[in-house]
């Protein structure tokens, strides 16, 4: 097991935060240590935020890597009068665990960070049918591109022919698996997703 940077620098954490939560069918234990004793204002601190679309989006940034690794994402549609409307995207959109993802993962985190300001969290659905073309698949992958870029990667659909989708992908393998899942989930007539150089 690789050593943590904190240990390799011989620094002693003044505070350690442990957060357990579930997203979809996976459980995560996250540990965050701070050296100066001041907790991070992010997901793993006790700090609560004002309920705004920007703050909801910021809090969701901490759970997005787990959604993206399964080929999905979440978008903040609106925040009005204490009601947060979210849309699960990609593989999360029609995943059998989508309700669990919303209730046990996303809703729990949002209620923890916004407290009584949240009156309701609603899932919004997208029901339009898209023709399977390279352009349509590329447009669908736009939901994942910001996260892929954050991990130093890129993705571009080169062609879609006879059930095969040829994709130029650079990035972490776990995110690549999510890209494949997102494509196959949205476009069921694509049988194979092939990464090329």
pLDDT band, residue 114 (cuts 50/70/90): very high
Distance CA 166, CA 188 (A): 15
- Predicted local confidence at residue 157, as pLDDT: 96
- Predicted local confidence at residue 148, as pLDDT: 87
Residue 26 has pLDDT above 70, yes or no: no
Structure pTM?
Answer: 0.45
Which domains, and CATH codes, for the chain? 5-123 (3.30.300.130), 134-196 (3.30.300.130)
- Predicted local confidence at residue 194, as pLDDT: 96
pLDDT in tens, 115-139: 999 998 888 776 555 689 999 999 9
Q: E strands of the chain, at which residues?
A: 15-23, 26-34, 72-80, 83-90, 120-123, 154-161, 164-170, 192-196
Residue 22 has pLDDT above 60, yes or no: no
- Predicted local confidence at residue 39, as pLDDT: 39
Positive or negative torsion for Cα 141, 145, 147, 152: positive
- Mean pLDDT over 39-57 rounds to 74
The rounded Cα 178 to chain-centroid distance in angstroms is 10
């Amino acid at each position: 097991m690789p050593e943590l940077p904190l240990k390799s620098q011989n620094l002693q954490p003044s505070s350690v935060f442990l957060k357990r939560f579930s997203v979809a069918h996976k459980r995560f234990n996250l540990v965050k240590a701070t050296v100066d004793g001041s907790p991070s204002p992010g997901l793993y601190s006790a700090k609560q935020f004002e309920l705004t679309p920007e703050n909801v989006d910021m809090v969701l940034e901490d759970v997005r890597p787990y959604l993206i690794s399964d080929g999905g994402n979440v978008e903040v549609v609106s925040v009005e009068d204490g009601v947060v409307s979210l849309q699960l995207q990609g593989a999360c959109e029609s995943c059998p665990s989508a309700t669990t993802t919303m209730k046990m993962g996303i809703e729990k985190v949002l209620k923890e960070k916004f407290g009584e300001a949240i009156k309701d969290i609603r899932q919004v659905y997208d029901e339009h049918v898209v023709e399977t073309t390279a352009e349509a698949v590329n447009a669908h992958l736009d939901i994942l591109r910001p996260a892929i870029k954050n991990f130093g990667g890129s993705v571009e659909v080169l062609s879609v022919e006879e059930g095969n989708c040829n994709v130029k992908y650079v990035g972490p393998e776990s995110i690549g698996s999510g890209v494949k899942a997102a494509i196959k989930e949205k476009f069921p007539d694509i049988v194979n997703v092939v990464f090329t150089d």
